[in-house]
C-alpha cells in the first residue's frame, strides 16, 4: 500500500486529537486515525501504558479494538499520532526505530508556546533511518 502524499483531516478529528494532547500535557499521548486513502475519518485515542514524557506504548486491547473497528467499517490505518510534550516537533530516533506501521503516516504534536493552542501538529512519513514531512489540510 502506498503512503498518502497529503493528509486530509476533518476539523472535528483535529479538535479531538488536540483535546487528547491537552488532557495529559506531561505525558506522550497516542492514538490512531482510520480512514480511506488520504482521508482521516475516525479517531481512536489510546492509553499510553508507559505514562512517560518521552515514550509511548499503546494499551494492547484498545489497539486491537481500534484496528477491528476500522476493519468493520472497511477503513485502513491512515495515521498513528503521539505527542512530544518536551521534545522536538519531528520524529525522535526512538520513533524511527519503533516504527511499527510503515504503511501509515505519523502525526507528532509538540509543545509550541507561540501557537494559540500551545501545541503544533506535523505529519511525517517514516522509515527506519529517516523521515519526510507530509503536508496536511483541514477539511
Looking at the annotation, which residues are catalytic? 27
> Do 53 and 59 form a contact (C-beta atoms < 8 A)?
no
Residue with cell 509538540: 110
Q: SS3 string of the chain?
A: CCCCCCEEECHHHHHHHHHHHHHCCCCCCEEEEEEECCEEEEEEEECECCCCCCCCCECHHHHHHHHHHHHHCCCEEEEEEEEECCCCCCCCHHHHHCCCCCCCEEEEEEECCCCCCCEEEEEEEECCCCEEEECEEEC
Amino acid at each position: 500500500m502506498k503512503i498518502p502524499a497529503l493528509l486530509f483531516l476533518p476539523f472535528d478529528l483535529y479538535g479531538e486529537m488536540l483535546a487528547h494532547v491537552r488532557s495529559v500535557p506531561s505525558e506522550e499521548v497516542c492514538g490512531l486515525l482510520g480512514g480511506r486513502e488520504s482521508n482521516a475519518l475516525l479517531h481512536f485515542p489510546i492509553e499510553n501504558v508507559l505514562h512517560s514524557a518521552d515514550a509511548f506504548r499503546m494499551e494492547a486491547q484498545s489497539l486491537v479494538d481500534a484496528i477491528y473497528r476500522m476493519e468493520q467499517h472497511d477503513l485502513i490505518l491512515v495515521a498513528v499520532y503521539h505527542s512530544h510534550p518536551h521534545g522536538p516537533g519531528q520524529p525522535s530516533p526512538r520513533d524511527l526505530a519503533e516504527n511499527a506501521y510503515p504503511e501509515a503516516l505519523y502525526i507528532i504534536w509538540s509543545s509550541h508556546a507561540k501557537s494559540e493552542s500551545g501545541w503544533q501538529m506535523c505529519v511525517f512519513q517514516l522509515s527506519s533511518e529517516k523521515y519526510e514531512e507530509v503536508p496536511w489540510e483541514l477539511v
